[in-house]
Amino acid sequence: MSKINFLKPDKSNLYTFLYLGSFLFFISVLDVLFNSFFNINLTGFLPNFLSFLLPLILGFIGLYFIRIELSGIKQLDLLNKHINTNNFNAVLSLLIIFIILKSIPPTLSWFFVDASFAGDSKDVCTGSGACWTYIKVWMRRFMYGMYPNGEQWRINLSFIALALLGSVGYFATDRFKKYLTLYYVVIYPFIAFLFIFFFISGGPVFFDFSYGIIAAILSIIIGFFIPGKFRFYYFLIVPLALYVLLKYFIFYEELIELGKLDGLNWVETGAWGGLSLTFIISFFCLIFCFPIGMAFALGRRSGFPLIRYISIGFIEFWRGVPLITVLFMSAVMFPMFLPADFFIDKLVRCIIAISLFEAAYVAEVIRGGLQALPRGQYEAAKSLGMGYWRMHIFVILPQALKLVIPGIANTFLALVKDTPLIFVVGLLEIVGMLNLAKTNPEWLGFAMEGYVFAAIIFWIICYAMSKYSYNLEEKYKTDR
Amino acid sequence: MNFKLKDIGPQLITVLAVVLVFGFFTYNAQVNMENRGIDFGYGFLSQESSFDVQFSLIEYDGSHSYFRAYLVGLLNTILVSVIGIILATILGVIVGIARLSPNYLINKFAAFYVEFFRNIPLLLQIFFWYFAALRALPLPQDAEPMFGISFLTIKGLFVPAFIWQNFNVFFYSIVAAIIAIIVIRIHAKKKQETLGKQTPVLFISIGLLLILPLLSFLIGGVRLSFEIPVLKQLATTSFIYEGGVSLPPELIALALSLSLYTATFIAECVRAGIQGVGKGQKEAAASIGLTPNQVLKLVIMPQALRIIIPPTTNQYLNLTKNSSLAAAIAYPDLVLVFAGTALMQTGKAIEIVSITMFTYLSLSISISILMNWYNKKIAIQEK
């Protein structure tokens, strides 16, 4: 055995250093472990300051001893490479290990051990942990807002039906694949609209606005069967004509009666709320903001100067203002801009405001994709004799959208995270409901549980969305 | 002729549509205001506001004008944005670098932080800090002093105030130091380009920044003393600290959540920027004999910054716009003071909302113009 120099661990005394170092490291971890789990201070006999730092010092010396390059032991080399490359890294690794060890017991006890689950009143919440009874009691309010308890099956049924209809794409055979875009862009939103219009609301929700939506969607569907030659004139005239027809010749009440199912009461939008409202708003804004954003992205790259300036103005305006002022505008300023007898529900105003706002962001993202395409793609498409629309729909946009999947996913994530802001106009989705429940005199003092609960829900939704976008990106990745 | 029509047609239709929509809105607004007896105008800005604001940087009370209230709100917005930007940058850079660390634990810890805070709505985080976390702080009378001089209580953070004598001399000394540093930098750059010699600019600048203000203390008669907050009894159970500077809990909650949230995005920008610099650049720089420090300073950072700065500025803008969420916890920012209280009192919806939007708009457009200019300046000149 050669001479041991403790300041320079080397390979010749590998096992001495290995045992010594592991032992010291083990002791330091054990000390923290006992301290945090069993509240026993092993080094209590030392002065306070030293007792606090001792695990760090011991662990540091231990890691220093086992930092031997090319030791020949695979595990040790991996360990050194990953957490123990130099002194600084060793200290940071130790600190992180200790922080994790220290934070496990209080977290566990707050979430589970000391928490109360049973019962349905505040009295059971006497422990120091979380009061999940509060969440349990208020669950319906957090999910459905003020929607009447007896009617909530309507929301559940609609959501399940829409989820099933939405998953059609996974089961479609190759023969129907080419219709999927049409289905998802036009038909599916229309079905969703009908569900919410007649089923969840069961009464007049969208008012005058609904004529516009119905007219637009009907005319788009019919438009697919119109020969290309007449399509321009068709889109110039038919939507407007349909709108006028709907507004003045088919009476609203008749339309409602037509679609109204027996025994469904009207639930006005002020009573909607909770997580289901988050979903409804996100869904519609997501559907509306995408085509609007695409139009303005194309407009911004258009060769016509006037269209370009209008698009730039639109995009920069919405990107420059905070969403909360946009919602303020939709709440207090927008009614001033409409005829006195023209009424738009505040939920619809919210959806319009958020859609326009997010459309500007979508437009910028899509523009990035359009700019990233090489000029050759445009030139090749033109040389095949394609016109502007044909070129964009079949050549440019499919490639550009593929490039910007992460950006679009980020924008949609931002949209979902922005929905709580609708508290400005008095609509209460889940965060708003939490704030309402928090001020209930019978349930004071459980703010923490509520926020943790909502945070977990939002985290799951957003994390799932970002992972899904990552999958999409991988799926559509093409080498060029 | 036909060709021209094809060119003009779509533009004409678009412009016509825009004009029609705006005309429709304006017409309706006029009719509506006439019906309700509201007159349009910005004259109310000079009227007496007669409402009070809890926290303001400039002197303000009910007898001041609405314009003064607007300024109070704007300054509060800028204050919380600046605090948030500074904290978010520090945290974001640290986390971004930690994300690239070879250390598995640090790497995962940073990734956890980013994934956690990025996927929770900002409003929820603000509520959490304000209504749940900060409410757990002690009452003023039970608060333990931090470092003996500042107190973190449920009523806010109380820190000592600086009391300056001859502050202007101190201020001029700092200005002089900054001008001197700029001159030295220009000179050093010229020297390097002509003679190829490097000047230790960093050390000289740090030295100047320390020595000149120090001289102002020694020679210029500048004096600095502290006013430490003291506990004062208002009623039998109500205490407050007096003296010093008090930061309201709203400001703390807002700045904390804004910076924690934005830092995750800045961290991703920093990570993307450093990863975006090719490995070959580093190796090439090392192979021509630059020291690791020089590689970082002269090769990696200039290229990484080119990628990092534009998206980071975007995040700063986002933070500034997000600071308008202050209205949810009653921090008196521009939206709460002006678009909230002032609007409620005057009923001038169009004027006030348009002023508020225009303020944010001009803020972000001026920054994006600056950004475009900077982007053009640092862009790689390709042939």
Per-residue pLDDT reduced to its tens digit, B16-45: 888 888 888 888 888 888 887 777 777 777
Mean pLDDT score, A94-120? 84
Chain A residue with the nearest C-alpha to that of B31: A339
Report long-range pairs for B12-17 (Cβ below 8 Å, ≥24 apart). Answer: B14/A304, B14/A306, B14/A307, B14/A310, B15/A306, B15/A310
Q: 10 Å Cβ neighbour count for A95? A: 15
Please report residues of A whose CB lies closer than 8 A to that of B35: 340
Q: Give the residue from A435, A438, A416 showing the smallest Cα distance to A424.
A: A435
When CB atoms are compared, the residue of B11, B357, B368 closest to A321 is B357
Q: 10 Å Cβ neighbour count for A20? A: 18
Q: Give the residue from A38, A75, A43 showing the smallest Cα distance to A56.
A: A43
Test the B interface: residue of A94, A333, A354, A423 with most B CBs within 10 Å: A333
> Looking at CA atoms only, how far is residue B273 from chain A in angstroms?
17
* Per-residue pLDDT at A461: 92
Q: How confident is the model at residue A74 (pLDDT cuts 50, 70, 90)?
A: confident
Low-confidence ranges of chain B (pLDDT < 70): 1-6, 148, 379-383
Test the B interface: residue of A110, A337, A429, A463 with most B CBs within 10 Å: A337
* Per-residue pLDDT at B255: 92
Average pLDDT value over all residues in chain A: 81
Q: Provide the terminal-to-terminal Cα distance of chain B, rounded to the nearest Å.
A: 40
A429 touches chain B (CB under 8 A): no
Here the tokens at position A478 are 């093409």
HSE-CB of B366 using CA atoms within 13 angstroms: 6
The predicted model scores a pTM of 0.85
* Per-residue pLDDT at A228: 66
Please report, to the nearest 10 degrees, the dihedral formed by the alpha carbons of residues B121, B122, B123, B125 taken in order.
Answer: 90
Residues 6+ apart with CB under 8 A from B79: B57, B251
Q: How confident is the model at residue A354 (pLDDT cuts 50, 70, 90)?
A: very high
Model ipTM value: 0.84
Helical H segments across B196-248, by residue range = 201-218
Test the B interface: residue of A81, A282, A325 with most B CBs within 10 Å: A325
Mean pLDDT score, A53-58? 83
Here the tokens at position B126 are 């603000």
Q: CA-to-CA distance for B255 and A108, rounded, in angstroms?
A: 29
A310 to A216, A298, B60, B243, B362: CA distances (angstroms): 23, 12, 41, 54, 18
Q: Give the residue from A106, A353, A343, A351 showing the smallest Cα distance to A207.
A: A343
Please report residues of A whose CB lies closer than 8 A to that of B131: 435, 438, 447, 451
CATH annotation of B66-136+248-378 = 1.10.3720.10
* Per-residue pLDDT at B112: 92
Q: CA-to-CA distance for B286 and A32, rounded, in angstroms?
A: 43
> Looking at CA atoms only, how far is residue A417 from chain B in angstroms?
5
When CB atoms are compared, the residue of A83, A324, A438 closest to B104 is A83
When CB atoms are compared, the residue of B103, B120, B349 closest to A459 is B120
Here the tokens at position A391 are 């070129």
* Per-residue pLDDT at B102: 81
Q: CA-to-CA distance for B50 and B376, rounded, in angstroms?
A: 48
Per-residue pLDDT reduced to its tens digit, A371-386: 888 888 888 988 998 8
Residues 6+ apart with CB under 8 A from A380: A395
Per-residue pLDDT reduced to its tens digit, A138-160: 888 888 888 888 878 888 888 88
* Per-residue pLDDT at A247: 67
